[in-house]
Structure 1
């Protein structure tokens, strides 16, 4: 599943092989740089002066040395493309990174919409890998997390939704001959202490994450008109950085399996209010910072909204065009 963060950020013992850089403990300069470029140049892949990127990262607390190191590493990994105009260096998202980020953004927004009615069936993935194949086991578990599965038991993972053919092929490639997939209804046993399938998810912990998100961002949502400049960019980056974990924590679990008053929709509405509400002042500030280092300012610095993300942000006529 395309995403600008690594599954290890949420589940440290499970790691797929992401195309984009994983975040370390705390705030990673590389992830902040990717988020900034995605939030304001994804549609056009506009090149920004490296000095402007360094300045924007400095406003989030990243040192100049840390920012330059992050840019260099992103370029080596193929996430950024570099160019020169005179004595100045410019960087933009690579086409592959932009495509991944566009798909990832659409996934983030779509995955937090309440699902359609559930048919009561479960998809079960069973696998058996020996302990000496730990890397393969972690890759498989990480891929299952991206697909919305959770472990009911160590080698038995479940999801309320069907597994599409591309996902089936991916699992088969990760563990050939060691995976079985089937779908059906739970056959309840008349015994005390039977583990329900939904117990594969820590519902209380997910609920606490939603509650913390609402506590953190509700006060800001009531005063968005007073947020401008660096504060608008920082808040918009941080709210995205936090919210984008929810599709993995709560993979559209059917509401009938969840406690009354589940906070998925309030969290999504709050994210939309903050992210979209700060788009204009944040865009204005990013353009002002770029103007200090480039004359004329590169065209195509434009914030996108959650509606754009849901549709899949694509390059417009100013860009090279994403396939």
Structure 2
């Protein structure tokens, strides 16, 4: 089996861009979440820059939609673990122009004919597009919920992208002329990693209320989590298909009731209202019932195995990275 070099590690510099018209800027990885399922989650420090990025020298949360290092995402689409050789094959696929045909076909008829028997580089091209779609979905969710940013949900500092290429796992310098077919072939977008740079809230997930707080605060905090979800998701433009207590972060803050602040995170599994009329949309909201789902999961948490530790081999979810930068794992609710 091919040895896969370390991907993201503490002390590493990443070069990000907000857009083609902005100067690249660097962030220093302070801590990397060791197990990723659907995205890469990093605690970073934004270095001084000329791109008008706020919070220079402060710790922020960087969520990268990196198809290469997303085990659960790859498993869902029956794609083998990523290797540098696979990236080389994808690079060649882009240069022949065949990747463009595959991507165009997917965009014309998404999710209808996914070929599970296709070569790995073929599927790698498709999941690069799917990963971009999931990034756009979460970005749109934060935009729709903009009024809640900084209070009930994280504040987005910037949508960013990072250039990658077949020569290395992660480059510390941008690849020049990203859109030049002579460099990355005819499907250059496959070699961009999209991400969200947002405020970081150190704390613990709602799944840990019973072991991180005093018994007298348990019900109070659970009620606040339930009401928070109801408040945020009352919008008539968005619904959440996968409400989980681990996606609510509780952080200690003396400026809030009982010195606890409650933040809802992770809007990857959301659906935007499309052509549904009021009755159809009301039925959908009732069926998903985000507030009721949060209440049910908080009042009937999954049983732990053995001594209460996560099952061996289980990884932490994307949301757990909001509070887990010290190697502490939670038992997922998958």
State the TM-score, normalized to the length of structure 1: 0.24
Bigger fraction of residues in helix: 1
Bigger fraction of residues in strand: 2
State the TM-score, normalized to the length of structure 2: 0.24
